[in-house]
């Protein structure tokens, strides 16, 4: 079982490491350093007036593990929130070594619960690029719970080639 938790400054090095391992899936096509991530943490994540809400994705440690506390599995959030339009964009990053274990789907469900039931948003949108390893994850999730709303030809320049982007929306049902 996983849960959403407050992000800490101590989480930032892992977040930068994981993000930089999957740069082809990031909207911004450049590597981040720890100073850049700390600046974002201080300016946006710690700012209650920010148009972004981010959480740490954690799981409790198992008895067999040597960890001393909950394990950081990733970061999730709602970014670019438009309060007046009751919508925001999904952000999800799972530790590459933990992908394929169901944590992404669980984290996404918890994040959407926060978006719809705590932030009172109506629509959560996103875009996934065909060069992103998580394209299959998003295809399955959106097919089950949302809808594709558009297609952007050549949305992402990566590794000397343009890749298409798929836009989607997940709407609050109640």
CATH number at residue 125: 3.40.630.30
Cβ neighbours for 32, distance < 8 A, ≥ 6 positions apart: 16, 19, 20
> For position 64, what pLDDT does the model report?
63
Nearest Cα residue to 50 out of 141, 119, 130: 119
Q: Supply the DSSP string of the chain, one letter for each residue.
A: --EEE---GGGHHHHHHHHHHTGGGSSS-S---HHHHHHHIIIIIT-TTSS-EEEEEEEPPPTT---SSPEEEEEEEEEEEEGGGTEEEEEEEE-GGGTTSSHHHHHHHHHHHIIIIIS--SEEEEEEETTSTTHHHHHHHHHHH-EEEEEEEEEEEETTEEEEEEEEEEE---
Q: Which domain range does residue 41 map to?
A: 3-171
Q: Global pTM?
A: 0.92
Torsion of CA 136, 99, 55, 88, to 10 degrees: 0
How high is the mean pLDDT in each 10-residue block of the chain (174 residues)? 96 96 85 96 96 96 71 97 98 95 97 98 96 93 94 92 96 88
pLDDT of res. 29: 78
Q: What whole-number distance in Å separates Cα of residue 139 and Cα of residue 16?
A: 25
- Number of folded domains in the chain? 1
pLDDT of 61 reads: 80
């Amino acid at each position: 079982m996983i849960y959403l938790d407050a992000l800490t400054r101590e989480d930032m090095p892992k977040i930068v490491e994981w993000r930089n391992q999957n740069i082809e899936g990031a909207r911004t096509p450049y590597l981040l350093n720890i100073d850049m991530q700390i600046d974002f943490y201080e300016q946006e994540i710690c700012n209650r007036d920010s148009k972004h809400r981010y959480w740490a994705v954690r799981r409790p440690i198992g008895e067999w593990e040597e960890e001393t506390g909950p394990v950081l599995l990733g970061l999730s959030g709602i970014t670019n929130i438009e309060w007046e339009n009751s919508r925001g964009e999904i952000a999800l990053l799972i530790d590459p070594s933990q992908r394929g274990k169901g944590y992404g789907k669980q984290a996404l469900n918890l994040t959407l619960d926060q978006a719809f039931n705590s932030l009172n948003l109506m629509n959560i949108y996103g875009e996934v690029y065909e060069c992103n390893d998580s394209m299959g994850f998003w295809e399955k999730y959106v097919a089950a719970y949302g809808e594709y709303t558009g297609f952007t030809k050549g949305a992402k320049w990566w590794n000397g080639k343009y890749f298409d982007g798929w836009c989607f929306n997940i709407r609050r049902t109640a």
